Amino acid sequence: MRVAVTGGAGFIGSHLVEKLVELGNSVVVIDNMSSGSLSNLERVREKIDLKIADVKDLRTCLDVFKDVEVVYHFAANPEVRVSVTNPKIHFDENVYATFVVAEASRLSNNVRTIVFASSSTVYGDATVPTPEDSSLRPISVYGASKAAAELILHSYSHLYGIRVVVLRYANIIGPRLKHGVVYDFLMKLSKNPDVLEVLGDGRQRKSYLYIDDAIEATILAAEASKAPFEVYNVGNSDWVEVSEIAKIVSKVLGLKPRIVFTGGTKDGRGWPGDVKFMLLSIDKITSLGWRPKHSSAEAVELAARSLATELGLLKTF
Ligand code: NAD
């Protein structure tokens, strides 16, 4: 099958591209390299078509989507914290970009399915474990941008018969990751191995899923969904505290830094808009036969180890 992956040079996107190629698909990637890189695609570079361009350009998308049946829309600005300082980035890169991808899919006349990388942040401060039918009450512009993008896609599925599969990911971690708490801790420790500053009170507790588990769930959900519009939570069955993550990452580097908590917001969040407790109900996706192979803590250790190797940090300490 001919498939397109927007953001295919990024962290999740590049792992997805590798799996899609392995499964025998003909893959075209569109990525503007704002946070992605060619090195992420080096294992499959000869086997794919690559367009270095912005998905917000309708003509380019139309050209890329020629003969494409399934679009995996993973291009976005994934940094939740950016919401606080520059909310427009999330409107442009996550909402408007999704509108263009939907429009290009409609106008192409050949795209039958859009698989969309949404996020647990659409729920905001929800009761946990949070099922798919919970209210969408995002507390960051990032979360709001993902919720808005989901709704645009819903209208396209209703009006134009494009099948949409929405995947609300928990924290996905593993090699090639360039944002989030595990990456941040590694970078901080590479600069100062004696002190590790943790944003917030350290009591934030969230679910983490290793990239291989996430890719398996993504492929399964994309293939299993038959409804015009289907939503799946993709996360782990357990969670881990940020203070524990600090200890795991330090241990991977063989360090014993002094761990300092900034305190964060009044209620101990890392930053305004940070969801402090996140655990998704994964009953729906597990009913398809998928199970995470690694717990949240195991995922953190595996990711920290692979990222530390990638960043050359294991040699340093
Ligand atoms: P990433 O930054 O590694 O990947 C995003 C990719 O999109 C990058 O390669 C970037 O260059 C590209 N891109 C951004 N804007 C673009 C544009 N306008 N045109 C073309 N390409 C563009 O981030 P990621 O962690 O791999 O995230 C992938 C997707 O999954 C994003 O939609 C993100 O919001 C979503 N998501 C990620 C997580 C996570 O924990 N990593 C959790 C929930 C949702």
Is residue 283 in some structural domain? no
Residue 14 lies in a domain: yes
CATH number of the domain encompassing residue 303: 3.90.25.10
Measure CA 68 to chain center: 23
From the candidates 72, 96, 123, 142, give the one annotated as an active-site residue. Answer: 142
Measured in Å, residue 126 CA sits from the centre of ligand 1 at 24
d(CA 2, CA 7): 16
Looking at the structure, tell me whether residues 155 and 202 fall in a common domain. no
User: Which atom of ligand 1 lies at the shortest distance from residue 97's CA?
Assistant: 18
Burial class of residue 53 in the structure, from the number of CB atoms within 10 Å of its CB (0-12 exposed, 13-18 middle, 19+ buried)? middle
| CB neighbour burial string for 187-225, b if at least 16 within 10 angstroms, e if fewer | ebbeeebeebebbbbbebbbbbbbbbbbbbbbbbbbeeb
CATH number assigned to the domain comprising residue 147 = 3.40.50.720
Q: Judge whether 48 lies within some domain.
A: yes
Tell me which residue has tokens 């606080």: 84
Residue 167's nearest CA partner among 98, 111, 230, 97 is: 230
Task: Give the residue numbers spanning the domain of 67.
Answer: 2-172+209-234
| Among candidate residues 128, 119, 185, 173, the one with its CA nearest the CA of residue 298 | 173
- pLDDT at res. 226: 87
Q: What is the pLDDT along the chain (317 residues), one digit of tens a residue?
A: 999 999 999 999 999 999 999 999 999 999 999 999 999 999 999 999 999 999 999 999 999 999 999 999 999 999 999 988 999 999 999 999 999 999 999 999 999 999 999 999 999 999 999 999 999 999 999 999 999 999 999 999 999 999 999 999 999 999 999 999 999 999 999 999 999 999 999 999 999 999 999 999 999 999 998 899 999 999 999 999 999 999 999 999 999 999 999 999 999 999 999 999 999 999 999 999 999 999 999 999 999 999 999 999 986 66
pLDDT number for residue 219? 98
Same-domain check for residues 99 and 184: no
Residues 188 and 59 in one domain: no
Residue 120, amino acid? S
Residue 199 has a pLDDT of: 96
Residue 57: strand, helix, or coil: coil
pLDDT number for residue 316: 62
Residue nearest to atom 33 of ligand 1 (CA): 78
Total domains in the chain come to 2
d(CA 167, CA 202): 28
- What are the Cα distances from residue 183, in Å, to 179, 249, 296, 306, 308? 6, 9, 15, 11, 9
pTM metric for this prediction: 0.98
Same domain, 17 and 131: yes
Quote the ligand 1 centre to 257 CA distance (angstroms). Answer: 31
Largest CA distance in the chain: 58
Q: Closest ligand 1 atom, CA of 10?
A: 9
CA proximity to 177, closest of 46, 26, 311: 311
Same domain, residue pair 201 and 136 = no
Residues in the ligand 1 pocket, defined by CB under 6 Å? 7, 9-13, 30-36, 54-56, 74-76, 78, 93, 97, 117, 119, 169, 171-172, 178
Question: Can 142 be counted among the known catalytic residues?
Answer: yes
